[in-house]
Amino acid sequence: MNYKKVYSFLLCAAFCLSVCAEVNYQVIPLPQQVSFDKSGQYMILSKGMTVSYPAGNALMQRNAEFAAEYMGLTVKPKDKKQADVNLMLGLKSKNPDDYAISINKKGITIQGASESGVFYGIQTLRKSIMNETGEIRLPYAWVCGSPRFAYRGTELDCARHFFPVAFIKKFIDILALHGINRFHWHLTDDQGWRFEVKALPELAQKASVRPCTVIGKNLGLSDPDNTLYDDTPETGYYTQEEMRDIVAYAAERYITIVPEIDLPGHMIAALSVYPDLGCTGGPYKVWSIWGVADDVLCAGNPKTLEFLKTVYGELCDVFPSKLIHIGGDESPRVRWKSCPKCQAKMKELDLKNEAQLQTYINKEMEAFLAERGRQIIGWDETLEGGLSENAAVMSWRGYDGGKAAAKLHHQVVMTPHNNCYFDYYQLKNRDAQPLGIGGYLPLSKVYAMEPVPEELTKEEAKYIMGVQCNLWSEYVISPDHAEFMLLPRLAAMSEVQWLKPEEKDYEQFLQRLPALEQIYRRLGYKFCTSYE
């Protein structure tokens, strides 16, 4: 036996194994179909290959630029010469986000039902190869993906703690990586106003400033004398120019920003600048504690609607989203009960209770926004006084609000806190993780969520348009902290948003998760490395 030849063969084989990688397309969110060609052949991906797009389509050109960035390709418009990677429209599907990837001897074709579908196909291929080094082998295959829900959302609270523009863009990139297409941006609250209103310049300038913040767990309302504060001011707001830039950045990644200006509660920051809009006249100051304030906008003051229409008018100028979030949650009505203006308005409108007074405001804003081609969405408290005609509902206090709205044939986004609040702790051992607001939401519980309650009829179930996870920032004080709370739970949420119940398998998901976590490392994302 020629041992030198045997040794050389083994050495060569070991070298090939170390520099050759064959991908399996088992990414997160999981494609609905991965069918390998029986021939066992593969395509070798290498730098210098070309990616083509239909000439004259700016969105597809941007898709091609993303593909080139992700995979080391060269962009060219489609011509007679076949490219190595071809981006195409024309996939026959009613779902615009559907995609199909074909890898065969002719090259790679990524086809979408629309430009967004092509983008998601690119992301799937990107995640398939991103961890590989050396020679990357793409087995001949047919890979298809189709999201279950049209609305796939994630919320970020920038009112309690302000996050810089650079992080907002990074956050958007994280959403895009996970196939998420709605960014619910919480811009105002009792603890800070982050949206510039040009007609009311003092609003953001003054209401964005909080002189200090309660330290650790909040005592505030229950024990104000023993509440400790830091000595660090919280400041910052987004100019309209910055927000337009962010809107454009998100749109390139097929993410629609749904802005939220909360009303009529969570308005202490605004009232600190315009105290006459409150029932008592103040004085008010930007809150440094957490909780629910009794002071809200005065529903009987005509200036209140003037103020709201000014604010939301400019909001519509900045954000093209059809859905505009009006909040509506945690708005006590105790001030309205003793306010002469509010009681007079109730008598004028022949309202039976204060909950209907809130619905009156909602209807006024719905009509105002409808004139601009917009639709309101609010938290499930908006059901209490009767929903306005075309309002959508975001169900956070459980599933009941969503079920009630769907039975009334109103669109619903399910975001029950027990499955979707990412400010909750990820691990049972609270000392092993950054501070959270409380609660316990492990990765497994996120994955187990089923957004469509079985009590709904087939017709009612059609009104569940989507699912959303929320990252509130009372105790989330930095970008690194935000990423840690988000990841990898966002990966589980993405499969809830993309896959039907019968397509989900938690144990199999855990087998695919390490590859995604390696991508997190390569991209510099912070994430929780343990999960339960």
Over residues 256-287, the pLDDT tens digits come to: 999 999 999 999 999 999 999 999 999 999 99
Whole-number pLDDT of residue 220: 65
Are 177 and 117 in a shared domain? no
- Identify the pLDDT of residue 432: 92
**203 and 60 within one domain:** no
- What distance in Å separates the CA atoms of residue 63 and residue 204, rounded to the nearest whole number? 36
Is 178 annotated as catalytic?
Answer: no
pLDDT the model gives residue 12:
37
pTM more than 0.85: yes
Alpha-carbon distance of 491 to 487, in angstroms, equals 7
Given a contact cutoff of 8 angstroms between Cβ atoms, the answer to whether 64 and 52 are in contact is yes
pLDDT score, position 11: 37
Same domain, 97 and 190: no
Q: What is the DSSP letter of 422?
A: T
| Residue 228 domain-assigned (yes or no) | no
Do 134 and 171 have their domain in common? no
Question: Does 140 reside within a domain?
Answer: yes
Alpha carbon distance 111, 80 (integer Å): 18
| Separation CA 422–CA 414 (nearest Å) | 14
Residue 145 and residue 99 in contact, taking contact as beta carbons nearer than 8 Å: yes
356 and 430 share one domain: yes
Out of 91, 121, 145, pick the residue that ends a domain: 145
Reported as a single tens digit per residue, the pLDDT across 475-528 is 999 999 999 999 999 999 999 999 999 999 999 999 999 999 999 999 999 999
Pairing of strands 182-186, 256-263: parallel
Tokens of 225: 């004398």
Asked whether residue 516 is assigned to any structural domain, the reply reads no
CB 324 within 8 A of CB 315: yes
Has residue 520 been placed in a domain? Answer: no
Question: How high is the pLDDT of residue 8?
Answer: 39
Bridging pattern class, strands 33-36 and 438-440: unpaired
pLDDT at 457: 98
Q: 417 and 356, same structural domain?
A: yes
**25 Rama sector, left if φ>0, alpha if ψ -120 to 50, beta otherwise:** left
pLDDT for the residue 1: 42
Centroid of chain to Cα 160: 17
Task: Decide: helix, strand or coil at residue 147.
Answer: coil
Question: The CATH number of the domain where 445 resides is what?
Answer: 3.20.20.80
Residue 197 and residue 169 in one domain: yes
Query: What range does the domain containing 457 cover?
Result: 151-207+238-501
Q: Are residues 402 and 466 in the same domain?
A: yes
Same domain, 361 and 295: yes
Catalytic residue among 242, 245, 294, 330: 330
User: What pLDDT was estimated at residue 121?
Assistant: 98
Q: Does residue 8 fall inside a structural domain?
A: no
Residues 411 and 468 in one domain: yes
- Which one is catalytic: 157, 189, 460, 483? 189
Which residues are 259's β-sheet partners?
185
Q: Do residue 360 and residue 444 come from a single domain?
A: yes
Q: Residues in the chain with pLDDT < 50? A: 1-18
Active site residue 266: yes
* 1 domain residue, yes or no: no
Q: Looking at residue 343, what is its pLDDT? A: 98
- Among the options 178, 184, 266, 410, which is catalytic? 266
In a domain, 527, yes or no: no
- Which of 145, 167, 196 marks a domain boundary? 145
Pair 262, 403 in one domain:
yes
* Rg, the chain, Cα only: 26
Q: What letter would DSSP give residue 227?
A: -
Is residue 284 situated within a structural domain? yes
Domains in the chain: how many in total? Answer: 2
CATH assignment of the domain containing 68: 3.30.379.10
The residue assigned the tokens 């956070």 is 396
